[in-house]
């Protein structure tokens, strides 16, 4: 979720994706891009790409290009900023605000590509660059936002903003710049600015350390089994993949199961060997707190303390108060109130679900003539699939043959977008790629004109961070004359050569979800880079993507892509009906594990500096916080435990609640769409015109009201998640 121009530095300082590489021939500090160019004349970042829509030259980019481009780009932007700050003319919208919007283009190009590649395909060189440049980018950001003369010009324009003759978007841009400068510390004394700079530098370094520890340990914590018998319940392809992973690690004859950066792990769904499930689960939850070289508890303690100290310096009681002031929620209390309303219903439903799972366990054990056992976290996914099969008479293995990946993308995700918005897609193979196992598409608007370029990067790999996300390589802006180049990234296990990629239902819905972000970026129609695409508050950005999930099981869409990968036969209607009937299955678990993480995030960031525990107290604090918030339920641990909770060490600090906050808006929007005819162009055109195209150019909640015609209500969310049922007696 990138901003361009001046705001690249802010994104960098917030840790939205940086890494490190051996820097060769870096220009001296203070050199301009032009001065540095002779030594690095082949550097692709020093000039705008001539490829369609300024698509990056992945074929020309070398890791050794980043350092020189960063150094020269920062020097160039500081020179531009100094010229703005020291302009003898009175401040105007053009010579101050627009000049800042247009600054830093070399840095923008280099950092955008670097951040994105570091997330999706990192290596030792990029890790080193990340570590080296994180504090430098933080210092660069501070050099701009703490420039007193520059802030004087911004404040002068802010004070007279209503007399500048600006349109609504221009007026909002002035207000946002002023707010960002103030929140960055522009009104602090020189002594406090010095303290703030030091804090920001430390936080940048610690954020990189945390991320690299998480990635390194998720790879190091892969679980090894001596025999394929331990993997009973796996498919032949999954066993082959585990054997191949072992061989790659020099463990011929063994089987290695890799982990994802979540508490739950996919094999827990299908492994029938309970000891194997326990081994995988315990390896997963121990990450970051085992006292080894990747232990993150000390990093967490330092980060939380520094964030609390920084918030106090800026005049806030805690980091959550600082972060939420600029979100749609506005206050920690508003977040606490909403999460507090949801937690009892979630745990009640999870308790009801646990009772069903325990009944299944008891019946199975009795049938085998063996003693029963108590449901544990490593049992939940396995027995929930059994209950799902018993209740709805299907399981994931029945679904996967109908969800071949490229068919899901082209005849599901793309087809839905065509039906709703009139846009069309054409794969192209002439543009360079950073990985061969990615796909690139031209996107055309309803009038036939090119709208964007879309990159699809679906496969998991050791060099890729966990989860799924969207990013922009080029953001739309009328000021810059740019159109979007956006990418979606998933973490689907790559099958053995020659085998099809068959997706789980969760992976299908995730693909629809991430494409909702892509649509937000592609439909952007704003003037200023600041507002482009997904540049909206954290607790609003997930809303459009969650809305797009509704088309995954929309009957006409599902029927178009749910076809057997071998025969082409449509998924039987009876199985379709079961998928739809099961849509609220296991929602107590899903909501409880999510709320556990979201409430932990708030607990950490609502601490004052004097209340932050040391490294040894991190895990006890987590355990007590879950109990105090009424979200602790042993069989359902949080989706992320603190030492591998990458969201809140990065851009979602005090903001992980955003998913459920956004889902309130999503549930209201889905209800509106259903009530107004469902999948039809009029509804898509309205959503695009009133919300998706506006980016951050208008207050986020007003964008929702413009579409829905009313304030959001919580009841549609409770109904959607099945949390409106009476609690068990």
What's the token pair of residue 502? 């068959």
Q: How far apart are CA 535 and CA 2, in angstroms?
A: 7
Strands 450-459 and 485-492: parallel
What's the token pair of residue 637? 């641990």
Q: How far apart are CA 589 and CA 666, in angstroms?
A: 20
Task: Enumerate the β-bridge partners of residue 486.
Answer: 454, 472
Task: Enumerate the β-bridge partners of residue 629.
Answer: none
Q: How far apart are CA 39 and CA 26, in angstroms?
A: 8
Please tell me which residue in 514, 542, 593, 663 is annotated as part of the active site: 514
Q: How far apart are CA 617 and CA 603, in angstroms?
A: 14
Q: Give Cβ neighbours of residue 311 (< 8 Å, ≥ 6 apart).
A: 317, 318, 319, 321, 322
Phi/psi for 448 (5° steps) reads 90, -10
Q: How far apart are CA 74 and CA 62, in angstroms?
A: 19
Strands 439-444 and 424-427: antiparallel
Q: How far apart are CA 103 and CA 126, in angstroms?
A: 25
Closest by Cα among 323, 329, 331, 336 to 650: 323
Closest by Cα among 280, 502, 252, 542 to 399: 502
Q: Which residues of 20-40 are buried (b: 16+ CB within 10 A; e: fewer)?
A: bbebeebbeeebbbeebbeeb
What's the token pair of residue 286? 């121990």
What secondary structure does DSSP assign to 173-186, as a single string? HHHHHHHHHHHTTT
Q: How far apart are CA 246 and CA 496, in angstroms?
A: 14
Q: Which value, in Å, is the radius of gyration of the alpha carbons in the chain?
A: 25
Q: 188: helix, coil or strand?
A: coil
Q: Give Cβ neighbours of residue 447 (< 8 Å, ≥ 6 apart).
A: none
Residue with tokens 């909501």: 591
The residue count of the chain comes to: 729
Other C-beta atoms lying within 10 Å of the C-beta of residue 270: 19
What secondary structure does DSSP assign to 264-276, as a single string? S-GGGGT---HHH
The alpha carbon dihedral of 585, 588, 589, 594 has a sign of positive
- Burial label for 255, CB within 10 Å (0-12, 13-18, 19+), is buried
The Cα-based distances of 346 to 342, 349, 381, 498, 580 in angstroms read: 6, 5, 17, 43, 21
Report residue 144 CA to chain centroid gap.
Answer: 27
- Burial label for 585, CB within 10 Å (0-12, 13-18, 19+), is middle
The alpha carbon dihedral of 46, 3, 55, 445 has a sign of negative
Q: How far apart are CA 164 and CA 160, in angstroms?
A: 7
Residue 236 a catalytic site member: no
Q: How far apart are CA 44 and CA 59, in angstroms?
A: 10
Closest by Cα among 223, 216, 231, 214 to 280: 223
Catalytic residues: 514
């Amino acid at each position: 979720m990138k901003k361009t121009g001046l705001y690249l530095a802010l994104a960098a300082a917030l840790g939205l994706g940086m890494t490190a590489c051996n820097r060769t021939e870096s220009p001296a500090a203070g050199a301009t891009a032009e001065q540095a160019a002779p030594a690095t004349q082949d550097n692709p970042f020093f000039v705008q790409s001539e490829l369609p829509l300024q698509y990056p030259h992945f074929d020309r980019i070398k890791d050794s290009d980043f350092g020189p481009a960063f150094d020269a780009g920062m020097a160039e932007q500081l020179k531009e900023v100094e010229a703005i700050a020291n302009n003898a003319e009175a401040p105007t919208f053009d010579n101050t605000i627009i000049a800042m919007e247009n600054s830093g283009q070399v840095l923008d190009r280099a950092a955008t590509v670097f951040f994105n590649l570091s997330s999706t395909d990192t290596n030792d060189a990029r890790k080193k660059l990340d570590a080296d440049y994180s504090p430098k980018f933080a210092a660069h950001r501070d050099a701009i936002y703490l420039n007193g003369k520059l802030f004087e010009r911004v404040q002068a324009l802010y004070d007279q903003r209503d007399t500048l003759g600006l349109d609504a978007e221009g007026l909002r841009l002035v207000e946002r710049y002023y707010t960002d400068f103030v929140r960055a510390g522009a009104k602090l004394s020189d002594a406090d600015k010095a303290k703030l700079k030091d804090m920001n530098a430390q936080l940048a370094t610690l954020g990189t350390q945390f991320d690299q520890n998480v990635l390194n340990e998720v790879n190091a914590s892969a679980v090894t089994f001596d025999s394929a018998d331990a993997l009973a319940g796996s498919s032949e392809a999954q066993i082959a993949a585990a054997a191949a992973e072992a061989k790659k690690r020099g463990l011929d004859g063994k089987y290695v199961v890799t982990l994802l950066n979540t508490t739950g792990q996919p094999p827990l769904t299908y492994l029938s060997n309970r000891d194997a499930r326990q081994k995988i689960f315990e390896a997963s939850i121990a990450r970051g707190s085992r006292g080894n070289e990747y232990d993150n508890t000390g990093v967490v303690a330092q980060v939380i303390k520094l964030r609390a100290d920084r918030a106090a310096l800026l005049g806030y009681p805690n980091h959550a108060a600082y972060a939420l002031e600029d979100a749609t929620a506005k206050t920690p209390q508003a977040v606490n109130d909403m999460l507090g309303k949801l937690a009892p219903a979630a745990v009640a439903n999870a308790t009801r679900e646990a009772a069903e799972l325990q009944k299944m366990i008891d019946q199975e054990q009795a049938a085998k003539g063996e003693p029963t056992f108590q449901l544990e976290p490593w049992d939940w996914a396995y027995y929930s699939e059994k209950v799902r099969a018993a209740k709805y008479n299907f399981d994931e293995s029945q679904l996967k043959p109908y969800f071949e990946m490229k068919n899901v993308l082209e005849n599901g995700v793309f087809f839905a977008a065509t039906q709703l918005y009139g846009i069309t897609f054409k794969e192209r193979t002439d543009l360079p790629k950073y990985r061969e196992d990615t796909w690139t598409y031209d996107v055309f608007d309803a009038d036939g004109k090119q709208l964007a370029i879309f990159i699809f990067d679906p496969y998991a790999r050791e060099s890729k961070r966990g989860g799924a996300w969207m990013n922009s390589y080029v953001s739309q802006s009328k000021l810059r004359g740019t159109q979007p180049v956006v990418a979606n990234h998933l973490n689907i296990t790559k099958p053995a050569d020659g085998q099809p990629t068959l997706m789980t239902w969760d992976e299908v819905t995730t693909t629809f979800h991430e494409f909702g972000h892509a649509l937000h970026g592609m439909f952007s129609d704003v003037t200023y880079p600041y507002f482009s695409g997904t540049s909206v508050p954290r607790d609003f950005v997930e809303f459009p993507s969650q809305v797009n999930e509704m088309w995954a099981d929309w009957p006409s869409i599902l029927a178009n892509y749910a076809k057997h990968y071998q025969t082409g036969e449509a998924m039987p209607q009876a199985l379709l009906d079961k998928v739809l009937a099961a849509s609220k299955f296991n929602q107590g678990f899903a909501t409880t594990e999510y709320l556990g993480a979201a409430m932990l995030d708030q607990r950490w960031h609502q601490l004052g500096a004097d209340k932050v525990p040391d490294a040894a107290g991190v895990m006890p604090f987590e355990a007590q916080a879950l109990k105090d918030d009424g979200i602790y339920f042993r069989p359902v641990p949080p989706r992320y435990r603190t030492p591998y909770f990458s969201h809140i060490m990065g851009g979602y600090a005090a903001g992980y609640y955003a998913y459920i906050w956004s889902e309130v808006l999503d549930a209201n929007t889905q209800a509106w769409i259903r009530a107004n005819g469902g999948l039809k162009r009029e509804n898509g055109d309205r959503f695009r015109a009133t919300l998706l195209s506006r980016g951050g150019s208008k207050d986020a909640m007003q964008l929702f009201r413009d579409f829905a015609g009313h304030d959001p209500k919580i009841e549609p969310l409770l109904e959607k998640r099945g949390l409106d049922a009476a609690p068990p007696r």
